[in-house]
Every structure is written in C-alpha cells, then in structure tokens.
Amino acid sequence: MIRRTTVHRRRILLLGLVAAMVSACTTGSAPRMVGTGNVVYDRQRLMKIQGAQWNEIQAKFKAGDIKGIAPNAEVEAVTSMQIPSLFPEGSLPSRSKAKPEIWERWGEFEATAKNMTIWSERLRDAAQANDEKAVADIMKDYGRVTCGACHTTFRQPQTQQ
C-alpha cells in the first residue's frame, strides 16, 4: 500500500514536471535562469551591457585590436542567449519600451535573439583568428541585423533616434 502510494506520488510529480515543461514551451517563455526578480530592470541592464560591449568592439576595431574583440563578442553571444528568458509574457510596465509584438510573434522574437548569438559567435571566431577582413565584413552589418532587427520590430522607437 505504502509502495503504491509512493509510485502514485512519483507519477503525479513526473506528470507535473512534464506539464510544467510543456507549459513553458507553449506559453512562449523560456525558463529563467538568473536575475534580481525585476525582469524589466534585468533586461534593461543586459541591453546596456550589450551596448557597452558593442561600443568597445567598434573602438577596438578602429584601433586595429582585432583579437581584443573576441572577449566582447563572447559576452554578446552569452548575453543574447538570455534575452528570451527576460521577456515573460505580458511584462510590459510603462517604463518598458518592449512592444506587444514580442509575444504575438514569439517565434520571430526568439529567432532574432538566436541570430544575435550566431552573429556574435561568428564575430568572436573571426576575431580569435585575427582575421581582419572577416571581422570587418561581419561588423559592417552586425548592429543592424542583431540589435537593430529587434529594435525595429519589437522596441518602441527611442526619441533620440
């Protein structure tokens, strides 16, 4: 009897786990790994870090420090992986510049973040190889196809643009 109850409990637990996973997949929010609990603050902080990295990458490129770009590109790659988890459905307080299109077109949003990871890793690898031409080719489009693609579709325009 005791054994049967334990098995039953385990089944319920397993089912609950599966349900939670399915729910996470279907409601369009990736499980969140780290953070302060204030998701808007966390994501704005992450974007600021990414902007600062991108500024450094451009400065290093101008100065001819091609290899030096690699660590910054790696930060861009790793932080971009966190983006979907920082946008749980409906997290739209007034201070947020996020647009509801994020959740209406979740697949596209996720793909845009994934694209940033891919481009950042390509940039990192080209920088590590000290391949100036490859780095230049990537950097020519990097801002627009990574950050810009998301900002154009999923962020309220900034007045300063």
Partner 1 sequence: MLSLLVALLLLLGSALAAGAAEPDQLARGKYVFGATGGCGCHTEPKGAVNAGGRKYDGPFGTVYSSNITPDPKTGIGSWTDEQIITAVRLGRRPNGERILPVHPFTSFNGMAEEDLTALVKFLRSVSPVNKPTPPKRITIPMFESVFLPAWLMTFASKETPPATAPVSGVARGEYLVRAVGHCSECHTPRSALTMALDTSRLLAGNTKKTGPEGQATPNLTPDKGTGLDWSEEQIVTYLQTGNRPDGDVAGGLMGEMIQGTAAGYKDMTKADLQAIARFLKSIPAVKNKID
Residues contributing to the site for partner 1 (CB under 8 A)? 50-55, 58, 140-141, 143-144, 146-148, 150-153, 155-161
Query: Closest CB to partner 1 among 91 and 153?
Result: 153
State in angstroms the smallest separation of the CB of 158 from partner 1: 7
Cβ-proximal residues to 53 (8 Å cutoff; 6+ apart), any chain: 72, 73, 75, 76, 79
Cβ-proximal residues to 153 (8 Å cutoff; 6+ apart), any chain: 99, 101, 105, 108, 112
State in angstroms the smallest separation of the CB of 72 from partner 1: 11
Query: Closest CB to partner 1 among 10 and 144?
Result: 144
Query: Closest CB to partner 1 among 25 and 78?
Result: 78
Both tokens assigned to 160: 């300063």
Query: Closest CB to partner 1 among 4 and 95?
Result: 95
Query: Closest CB to partner 1 among 6 and 152?
Result: 152
Nearest to 81 by CA among 45, 51, 121: 121
State in angstroms the smallest separation of the CB of 50 from partner 1: 8
State in angstroms the smallest separation of the CB of 143 from partner 1: 4
State in angstroms the smallest separation of the CB of 88 from partner 1: 21
Cβ-proximal residues to 67 (8 Å cutoff; 6+ apart), any chain: 127, 128, 130
The secondary structure of 25-71, three-state, reads HHCCCCCCCCCCCCHHHHHHHHHHHHHHHHHHHHHHHHCCCCCCHHH
